[in-house]
């Protein structure tokens, strides 16, 4: 079955087609604000048998459901059939993308595992257990790296907008370099501290993988991260779709 995979997040939406036996994804991206009926008409013209939607933007999810309803469709939620259990008091509050990440990391490396997803927010999702007996346990949500740096630029008179990159030095020799050092080194410190706190509560060594827009930059300075997997969320969307579509 040829699937249209959709990862609809707050800032960007990713699309990819998946066919049996295919290795990797040709990922297309669009700003989520541009996800309007005219754009969905372009999706309708693609060659696919069914679609799988992971959305954290209800308004856009409704547009996608309506626009793609002519073919089989599965929208991921806590009610989806998953390869792992959910050990969470209010499962309806779990974002579809977080469930996709948990399913994908379990399929890729097993459990226990932690996924750090660098997006508009940075999320940590924890899969506990071992082998086939694995459960989504919960996680952590913090501001995304871009949100923090944009806030500085927008709310201070003299601090410029900047591109995120590896700092040349911890001691910035310009305003931009000082901001970059604060953002990158400071963010790595936050990620490391959160991971350590999670590991202490799990009382078990857990593999850590990263995904999302800033994953490669931040993980480059974090030996705690075993691997950066750019298409992890799409992989989870595919796996859930295959389990739930006829």
> Is 97 assigned a catalytic role?
yes
Q: Across-strand partners of 51?
A: 4, 73
Residues 6 or more apart from 15 whose CB is under 8 A from it?
4, 5, 6, 7, 27, 28, 29, 30, 43
What is the torsional sign of CA 51, 55, 60, 61?
Answer: positive
> 128 — phi, psi (to 5°)?
-105, 175
Catalytic: which of 7, 97, 125, 231? 97
Say if CB 244 and CB 80 are below 8 A apart: yes
Q: What is the Cα–Cα distance from 177 to 18, expressed in whole angstroms?
A: 41
For residue 49, give Cα distances in angstroms to 33, 53, 55, 69, 73: 26, 14, 20, 12, 9
d(CA 114, CA 33): 30
**Conformation bin of residue 119: beta by default, left when phi > 0, alpha when psi is -120 to 50:** beta
Place of tokens 């590991």: 199
Positions marked active-site: 97
């Amino acid at each position: 079955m040829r699937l249209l995979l959709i990862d609809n997040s707050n800032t960007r939406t990713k699309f990819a087609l998946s066919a049996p036996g295919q290795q990797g994804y040709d990922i297309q991206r669009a700003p989520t604000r541009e996800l309007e009926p005219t754009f969905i008409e372009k999706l309708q013209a693609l060659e696919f048998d069914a679609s799988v939607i992971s959305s954290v933007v209800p308004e856009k999810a409704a547009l996608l459901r309506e626009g793609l309803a002519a073919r089989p469709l599965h929208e991921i939620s806590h009610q989806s059939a998953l390869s792992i259990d959910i050990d969470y008091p209010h499962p309806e509050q779990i974002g579809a993308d977080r469930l996709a990440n948990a399913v994908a990391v379990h399929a890729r490396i097993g459990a226990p595992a932690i996924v750090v997803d660098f997006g508009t927010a940075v999320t940590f999702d924890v899969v506990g257990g071992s082998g086939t007996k694995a459960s989504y346990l919960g996680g952590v949500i913090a501001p995304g790296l871009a949100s923090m740096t944009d806030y500085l630029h927008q709310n201070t008179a003299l601090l410029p907008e900047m591109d995120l990159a590896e700092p040349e030095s911890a001691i910035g020799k310009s305003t931009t370099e000082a901001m970059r050092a604060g953002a990158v080194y400071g963010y790595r410190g936050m990620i490391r501290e959160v991971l350590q706190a999670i590991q202490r509560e799990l009382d078990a060594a857990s593999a850590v993988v990263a995904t999302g827009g800033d994953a490669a930059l931040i993980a480059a300075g974090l030996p705690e991260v075993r691997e950066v997997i750019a298409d992890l969320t799409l992989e989870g969307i595919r796996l859930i779709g295959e389990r739930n579509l006829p």
